[in-house]
Structure 1
Amino acid sequence: MELSSLGVRLSDEMIVVGMIFIAAFLLIQSFLVPAFGENRQVQKRLKKRLRAISDEAHQGSISLVRRKYLRELGPLERALESLPGMERVERLVEQAGKETPAYRVVLTSVCLGGMAGVAGLYLLPLPMALLLGLAVAAFPFLRLTRARSRRLARFEEQLPDALIVMARALRAGHPFSDAMHLVAEEMAEPIAGEFRTTFMEINYGGEVRNAMLGLLRRVQSVTVMIFVTSVLIQKETGGNLAELLDGLAAVVRDRFRFHRKVRTLSAQGRMAAWILSLLPFVLAGVLSLVSPNFLPMLTQDPMGRQLVVAAFVMVIIGILWMRKIVRIEV
C-alpha cells in the first residue's frame, strides 16, 4: 500500500511538473520573444532565400572568418569540429558575435547537464532529474540565442545610419568597398565588425556577390536581405546606388520606429498573459502549503483528474489565444 501510494504521489508530481513545463515553455516562446519580430511568412521567405543562396555561396572561396577559425585550431580540435551538428553550433556562435569554439559549447553543455542530472538524482525522482539535466544542458545554447537576438536587434538599429554614411561616401566619389570600410571605421559594434569582414573579403580579391551573401548568412534579417539584394541588383543592372541607400535607410528607420510603438502598446497585454497563465499554478502552490490535504482530494478522484486535465487544456488554449492577440505581425 505504501509503495502504491508513493507511486501515485510521484505520478501526480510528474503530471504537475509536466504541466508547468509545457505552460512555461509556451509562455516563453510566446511573450519573451520580441513583440515586433518578423512574422512567420517573412521568416519562411528569408529561410528559403538563404537556402537558395547557400549552395552558391559555398561554391566560392571559403570566407575569411571560417579560414581564420580553422587555422587557429589544433588537430584534435579540428576533428571535434568535424562532428555532425557542429556546423550549426558554429553558425550560432558566429551570429552571436562570440569567439568560443563550437566544440567547447557542446562540451560545456554536456558537462553542465551531466552534473545537474547526477546531483538531481540525490534530491529528485529520476524523470525530474532528467528534466533538470536537460534544462541545464540547454543553458549555453539559450545564452547564445539570446546574445544573437540582442546583436541582431542592435545591428538593425545601426543599419540606417550605416546606409546614410555609405550613401554620402558614394556621392563623394568613393567606391563601394571604401564606403563599407568607412562604416567599419566610424561606427560601433556589431555593424562595424560585420562590415569590416565584408570589406576584407572584397579587398583581398573575393567577389562582391560572395562577400554580400556571406554578410546575409551571418546576419539573417529581412532588412539585411533587402540591402544585399539591392546592392547585387545595382551591380548587375546599374543605377544610382546612393539614392537607393538613402531610400532604404528611411524605410528601415520608419519600420524600426513602428516596431517600438507596437512593442509599447502590446506590453500591457503580455503582462496580463503572464499573470493569467501562471495564476492557476501559483494558486495550486499556495493551497498545497496552506492546506496540504486539499489538492490530493482532487487528484485522487477520477472526476477530479478529468477536471484538472480540462483546466490545463483551457490554460493552453488561453495562452495560444492571447499569443494570437498580442503578437502583432508587421
Structure 2
Amino acid sequence: MSPLVFALLAIVCVGAAGLALVPSLLGPSRADKRIKALQGDIQANRRENNAARTRDLRRKSIQETLKSQSELIEKRKKRIPLQDQIFQAGMKIKRNDFIRNQVIVGVVVFIACFLLQVPLLFAAVFGIAAGYLLPKMHLARRRKKFQNQFLDELPNAVEAIVRGVKSGLPINDSMRVVAKEVKEPVKSEFQRVLDQQAVGKSMTEAVQILFDRVPLPEVNFFVVVITVQQQAGGNLSEALGNLARVLRNRKRMKQKVKAMSSEAKASAGIIGSLPFIVAILVTLTTPSYLLPLVQTPIGMFWLGVAAVLMATGAFIMNRMVQFDY
C-alpha cells in the first residue's frame, strides 16, 4: 500500500479517537445541555422524594391525631362520672352538693307521701326513686340544653375564625375576637381556651377542653381540624370554611328531623298523658270510684304495677322519637 493511504488512515483514526474521547470537540453547547439535563433529573428526583417524604410524614401525623381522637371518643362513650356530667351541663355545683340535693329531694318526697297516708314501704320506694331520678333528669335536661345552645352558636364562631385568619390574624387573635363577640356559651368556652394558653398550654392541649366540655361530634370535628393544622400544617382557613359548611348542613338536617318527628312526639305526649287525664276526670265525676286504688293494699300494688308499666311505655316512646343525625 502507498504511504498516502497509510497517512489517510492514520488521520482518520486520530480524528475518530478524538471525537470519541473528547466530547467537547463536538461543541460546548451539546455537552453543557447533557450535563444540565442530568443535573435537572437529579434535582427533580430529589424534589419528588422530599415531597413524597413530606406527604408520608403529614399522613402519619394526621392518622395519629385521628387515632388519638377516636380513642378519646371511645372513652367518652363509657360511663361518665357524675362530676363530669355536672361540668358538661355548665353547672358550678360540686359532686357532694349534688348528692346532698338528691338526698333532700328523696326525704321531701318521702315525707309528702307519708303525710298523704301512703303505706310506709311505698313511701320509701317513692322517696328513693324520686331522690335518684328527679335530680338526674334535671341534670340531663340542663346538659342537653347547654349542648344545643353551644351547637347553635358554634358555626358563627368558626366562620368568625375563618374571617380572622383570611384577614391575616393569627388563630389566637381570631379566637380572642370570638371570645368577645359571639353569644354564650361559646363565648365563655373560647375564653377558657385562651386562659389555658395563658398558663402555658399549647393550642392543641388548650382546644381539647372544648371537647371535654361538650363531647359532641361537631366539636370533635373542630378539635381535629385545629390539632391537625397545628401538628402537620395546611390551609387553616379552607379547612375551617369546609367545617363551617358541614356544621350548617348538620344543623339544617337536625331541624328537618325535628320537624318531621314533631307529630310522633305529640302523639307520644298525648298517649302518655291520657291515663292521668282519665283518672282526674273520673275522680271529678265519681270521687269514690278510684279510692280502692289508694286505700287497699291490693290497689296500691296494682297502682305500683301500673306506674312501672307507664314508665316503661314512656321510655320506649321517648326512644322511638329520638334520632341520630
What TM-score comes out, normalization by structure 1 length? 0.63
- Residue aligning to 2:265: 270
1:126 aligns with one of 120, 144, 148: 120
Structure 1 position 158 matched with structure 2 position 159: no
What is the CA-CA distance between 1:238 and the residue it aligns to? Answer: 1.4
State the alpha-carbon separation in 2 of the partners of residues 244 and 287 from structure 1: 62
Task: Mark the CA change 1:47 to 1:229 in structure 2 (over 3 Å): closer, same or farther.
Answer: closer
Residue 144 of structure 1 aligns to a residue in which SS? helix
Matches within 5 A, 1:258-297: 258-280=253-275, 282-283=277-278, 286-287=281-282, 290=285
Match of 2:243 among 244, 248, 253: 248
Tell me: CA distance 1:191–1:288, structure 2 relative to 1, closer, same or farther (3 Å). Answer: same
Instruction: Name the amino acid aligned to 2:195.
Output: M
Query: Does the CA contact (< 8 Å) of 1:277 and 1:315 recur in 2?
Result: no
Say whether residues 1:139 and 2:134 are aligned partners: yes
Task: State the number of aligned residues.
Answer: 245
* Cα pair 2:88 2:143 within 8 Å, conserved: yes
The aligned residue for residue 10 of structure 2 is none
After superposition, the Cα gap between the structure-2 partners of 1:147 and 1:295, relative to the gap in structure 1 and judged at 3 Å, is closer
Shift of 1:248: 0.8
Question: Deviation at 1:266?
Answer: 1.5
Could you say which residue in structure 1 is the equivalent of 2:106?
113
- Structure 1 CA distance, aligned partners of 2:222 and 2:90? 21
Q: Give distance in 1, aligned partners of 2:76 and 2:139.
A: 25
Q: Distance in 1 between the 2:275 and 2:181 partners?
A: 53
The 10-residue stretch of structure 1 (187-196 or 110-119) with the greater mean CA deviation from structure 2: 110-119
**Deviation at 1:319?**
7.3
Report the CA distance between 1:277 and its aligned residue.
3.9
**1:199 alignment partner AA:** L
1:17-96 equivalences in 2 (<5 Å): 49-52=72-75, 88-96=81-89
Is the Cα contact below 8 Å between 2:164 and 2:174 reproduced in 1? Answer: yes
1:173 equivalent to 2:196? Answer no
User: Match of 1:215?
Assistant: 210
Distance in 1 (alpha carbons) for counterparts of 2:315 and 2:82: 31
**Of 178, 182, 201, the match for 1:183:** 178
| Two-structure CA RMSD over aligned residues (Å) | 3.7
Deviation per CA, 1:127-161, whole angstroms, max 9, x where unpaired? 43121343145433332322221111011010111
- Cα distance, 1:315–1:213 mapped onto 2, change above 3 Å: closer
Q: Which residue of 1 aligns with 2:93?
A: 100
Partners of 2:102 and 2:150 in 1: CA distance? 28
Q: Distance in 2 between matches of 1:220 and 1:204?
A: 23
8 Å CA contact 2:107, 2:127 repeated in 1: no
Deviations 1:168-209 (A, max 9, x none): 111222222222121101112100111111111123211222
How far did residue 236 of structure 1 move?
1.8
Tell me what 2:64 maps to.
none
- For 1:133 and 1:181, the matched residues in 2 are separated by 47
Percent of aligned positions that are identical = 28
CA distance in 1, matches of 2:318, 2:83: 35
Q: What secondary structure, in the 3-state scheme, does the structure 1 residue paired with 2:130 have?
A: helix
Query: SS at 1:113's partner residue?
Result: helix
The whole-number CA distance in structure 2 between the counterparts of 1:260 and 1:193 is 25
Structural mapping, 1:288-307, within 5 Å: 290=285
Could you list the runs of 5+ residues in structure 2 that have no partner in the other structure?
Answer: 1-68
Distance 1:208 1:276, change over 3 A: same
CA distance in 1, matches of 2:317, 2:76: 36
**Contact in 1 for aligned 2:102/2:135 (Cα 8 Å):** yes
Task: Report SS of the residue matched to 2:200.
Answer: coil
> Residue 222 of structure 2 is aligned with which of 214, 224, 227?
227
Q: Distance in 2 between matches of 1:323 and 1:134?
A: 21
CA distance in 2, matches of 1:96, 1:322: 21
- Distance in 1, matches of 2:139 and 2:318, equals 28
- In structure 2, how many angstroms separate the alpha carbons of the residues matched to 1:117 and 1:313? 22
Q: Kindly indicate whether the alpha-carbon contact (under 8 Å) linking 2:268 and 2:317 is maintained by their aligned counterparts in 1.
A: no
Distance 1:92 1:47 in 2: 20
| Secondary structure of the corresponding residue to residue 188 of structure 1 | coil
**Contact 1:184 1:193 (8 Å CA) reproduced:** yes
Greater RCO, 1 or 2 (C-alpha within 8 Å, sep 6+): 1
Contact 1:50–1:217 (8 Å) recurs in 2: no
Greater displacement, 280-289 / 104-113: 280-289
| Residue pair 1:115, 1:133 contacting (<8 A) in 2 also | no
